[in-house]
A and B are shown apart, each in its own frame.
Chain A
């Protein structure tokens, strides 16, 4: 793995650990603590030893809000990846293997959901649900992630079903269910994993856009998107509260893309060698 890809992977690992163990990081402040209410800090402070990245327009510590904001991105993208690979992967592998009417029906409904521009459907569903905590957002995004994974899994399953080992398994009279679980699903998994990394990047951008519109998790809960939105109004006074979360967002998406590309390339090499 090239050094640069390692650096990207390192950033991703740091983000994940930071998000999970945010409460345990020594010296990290409370992301919602407004220092100016108690006279301990001011709004829009420049970086200092107490606030490494400065404070935002509510005198909250920006670094702490970025670390805690990573939680939202992490939870939403992980939910999407898990629901996508498990439900979408299974559904796609199933219909790609059995074909016929089930296939036609499932894929028709997948097509209908994919006929909506992602963000527009997400906006509509989130609004109509009327509740905007992390659980609701993650579930909606997760549910809407099932169709693309179904499509990817189905295409892979179609190809895998024609391979020799599947034919061999059929020839010796293996039950269909066993073929699906033993042969088809494991062979769809690498493709799904590579897709998952790229998809995680897409999901993080989607949640970011939703939060930027003020329609993701409700403030004061920090998320990168709502931090950028909050900093937007004071751009003329202090640009840094917008810069830091933007950088965090862009670096994370960039790293996911780089690592995803690397995995896809090495996978292509492996399958070519077969």
Chain B
């Protein structure tokens, strides 16, 4: 088990290095000179001034040297300065992260809470009308992207009914209720696809578990169906769910960009978009690496949790 963890951690470091290098490569090799973002084009007539700025920002060094310097700073939590606002990239990330983190937590929590009962019920009533209805709804949800769902919710709940604000964000420090009022619609928009995916996973897993001998023996003992479903079946069936949640974090992180844009939320995704529109290379680089790092970390954590929960995998190594 120790070697397994060690191997996994070595791979993690390798992946993170590769991810950061690829991002650096992308940002630096592709057309578009960072100098254009630093100095307006018409001010670039002054060659001496341009050279001075280039020297100051270290743009003249070979790429590997710049990567090394950037990486050295990055592992200490310094992603450089935004070339537009001249605030540090890490302070911007730190400032924006809670919004995105809350959005994702609420989305995943909401989805799991809805998907487990739906999936279990569909599996229990496999082939019946109820199963067909649940699976049908999941199929529809799977086809509704966050921005379509978001617009629909804004139209119905904000414009027509006036129950919730259409855009904006209330920090948690402004009170829990006010905060929840601004997070619920964005989270729900993202949740539709997640609910569909999780429901399908839970359904097929519980269906498989229901075939197992221990379920039969529990039935023979006369335990109630509800007890068997939630006590005996759910735990072995939840492993795949954990993995799928982990894998889907990637799509979800992408989804937060769109939803934060639509609902004008001051999150990480919105900041990335702003950086993209301003061509703020340092910021794009920092946020991209940060987001990819989170994604890689989550998936490593899922692998490790998987191993802790399921003893068979521990032995296999």
Contacts and interface: CB of A to CB of B under 8 A. Distances in A.
Partners in one complex: yes
Interface of A: 108-109, 111-113, 115-121, 123-125, 127-130, 201, 205-206, 208-209, 212-213, 215, 225, 228, 232, 235-236, 239, 242, 246, 249-251, 253-254, 257-258, 261
Contacts of B14: 108
A116 B272 CA distance: 14
Q: Name the 8 nearest CB pairs between A and B, nearest first.
A: A119-B254, A254-B143, A128-B30, A117-B250, A253-B143, A117-B253, A112-B18, A246-B148
Interface of B: 14-15, 18-19, 22-23, 26-27, 30-32, 139-140, 142-148, 151-152, 154-155, 159, 249-251, 253-255, 257-258, 261-262, 272-273, 276, 279, 284, 288, 291-292, 295-296
B292 A235 contact: no
Given A117-B291, A120-B272, 10 more contacts: A115-B295, A116-B292, A118-B254, A120-B253, A120-B291, A123-B272, A124-B27, A127-B276, A127-B284, A253-B142
B151 A209 contact: no
A128 B30 CA distance: 6
19 contacts: A108-B18, A112-B22, A115-B18, A116-B291, A117-B251, A119-B255, A120-B253, A124-B23, A124-B27, A128-B284, A205-B145, A209-B146, A212-B262, A235-B154, A235-B155, A250-B145, A251-B143, A254-B139, A261-B139
Contacts of A242: 151
Contacts of B255: 119, 209
Nearest to B292: A116
B5 to A, nearest CB: 18
A249 B148 contact: yes
Contact of A250 (B144, B146, B295): B144
B143 A201 contact: yes
Contact of A128 (B15, B32, B291): B32
Given A116-B292, A124-B26, A209 B147 contact: yes
A132 to B, nearest CB: 12
- Which one of A108, A113, A117, A208 has the greatest number of beta carbons of chain B within 10 Å? A117
B257 A130 contact: no
A239 B159 CA distance: 11
A235 B154 CA distance: 9
B19 A115 contact: yes
A116 to B, nearest CB: 5
A246 B149 CA distance: 9
B144 to A, nearest CB: 6
A129 B284 CA distance: 13
A4 to B, nearest CB: 10
Contacts of A123: 257, 272-273, 276
A237 B238 CA distance: 46
Contact of A235 (B30, B140, B151, B279): B151
Nearest to B196: A257
A257 B258 contact: no
Contacts of A112: 15, 18-19, 22
A249 B249 CA distance: 23
A180 B127 CA distance: 41
A213 to B, nearest CB: 6
Contacts of A235: 151, 154-155, 159
Nearest to B151: A242
A76 B31 CA distance: 23
A109 B14 CA distance: 11
Contacts of A111: 15
